[in-house]
Amino acid sequence: MGGKKISCPHCESERCVKNGKANGKQTYLCKECYYRFTINASKRKYPFKIRREAVNLYKEGYTLTEISKKLNIKVQTIHHWVKKYKDLKGIKKI
- CB neighbours (10 Å) of residue 90? 13
User: Same domain for 63 and 34?
Assistant: no
Residue 30 in any domain: the answer is yes
Please calculate the CA angle 25-34-16 and round it to the nearest 5 degrees: 60
User: Same domain for 2 and 36?
Assistant: yes
Per-residue pLDDT of the chain (94 residues; tens, 9 = 90+): 456 789 998 888 999 999 999 888 899 999 999 999 988 765 567 888 899 899 999 989 999 999 999 999 999 999 999 998 877 655 554 4
DSSP string of 25-41, one letter each residue? EEEEEETTT--EEETTP
User: Same domain for 37 and 54?
Assistant: no
